Structure 1
Amino acid sequence: MRAMTKKTAKAPAKKTSAKQQAPEAEPAPQAPSESGPGGKIGKTQLVEQVAQQSGLPKKQAGQVVDAAMEVIIDAIKSGKSVGLPGLGTLSVKATAARTGVRPGTSERIQIPAGKKVAFKVANTLKGTLGGTGDAAE
């Protein structure tokens, strides 16, 4: 019981101090560390970074990001490739019908032909990522 009392007594004190510090300087340093290796940048972080680098207000940066996504999605839906300089190319690839095996039951199933979105990384980006095994291809 003593350990629980100490933990509950300490936990609110830390949360209170974290809340007091959070509005000042905490969020900015945390966002880049979350987007580091293995991390993920969400839409809000992308909008914030676009706003910061372009000098636009966040609302306008959000509209720009939304518009860019709409254009990319519409192009892919219509079967076009989308080249993003320095990043890579998104394209639609047809997949052939094939026979697969259902996991667990080992039952053979027929997988119909379809389409998928493929992404080819730009050589300039691939070179900066280091030797992750993709360079051998």
Structure 2
Amino acid sequence: MSVNRTELVAAIAERTELTKTDSEAALSALQEVLIDSLSKGEPVKITGLLSVERVERAARTGRNPRTGEEIQIPAGYGVKISAGSALKKAVQG
């Protein structure tokens, strides 16, 4: 089972005593900050929770799974997310 955006907004509202509208606005603001920062190549670190950074991916040769034909995959960027200590502890139980 996973938590969707609506459930996350409701949980934030309940724990912070914010309205659901304010919680939605806060979550949207976090999303915008992540996107803006990563698009500029700036990492985002929330101590204890997670860190998110843009990483470069080199050009490489891949294979089309349907035909088996080799294809060239251009260089680009990806996103690396690392769990912080509090998140790691929570997962371990």
Give TM-score scaled by structure 1 length: 0.62
Unaligned runs of 5+ in 1: 1-38, 132-137
The runs of at least 4 aligned residues of structure 1 exceeding 4 Å deviation read none
Q: How far apart, in 2, do the equivalents of 1:125 and 1:55 lie?
A: 23
Aligned partner of 1:112 among 67, 74, 78: 74
Look up the SS of the partner of 1:93 in the other structure: strand
Unaligned runs of 5+ in 2: none
Q: Could you say which residue in structure 2 is the equivalent of 1:69?
A: 31
Alignment of 1:11-30 (within 5 A): none
Larger radius of gyration: 1
Q: How many residues align?
A: 93
Amino acid at match of 1:74: D
Superposed CA offset, 1:29-70 (max 9, x none): xxxxxxxxxx22111111111111111111111111111211
Superposed CA offset, 1:60-119 (max 9, x none): 111111112111111111111011222211100000011111112111111110000110
In angstroms, what is the RMSD of aligned CA positions? 1.6
Q: Note the C-alpha offset of 1:127.
A: 3.2
Range that drifts further, 66-75 or 112-121:
66-75
Q: Which has the higher strand share?
A: 2
Paired-residue identity, %:
35
Look up the SS of the partner of 1:56 in the other structure: coil
Q: How far apart, in 1, do the equivalents of 2:6 and 2:90 lie?
A: 26
Q: Which has the higher helix share?
A: 1
Q: How far apart, in 2, do the equivalents of 1:123 and 1:55 lie?
A: 27
Q: Could you say which residue in structure 1 is the equivalent of 2:10?
A: 48
- If asked which structure has higher relative contact order (CA below 8 Å, sep 6+), I would say 2
Give TM-score scaled by structure 2 length: 0.89
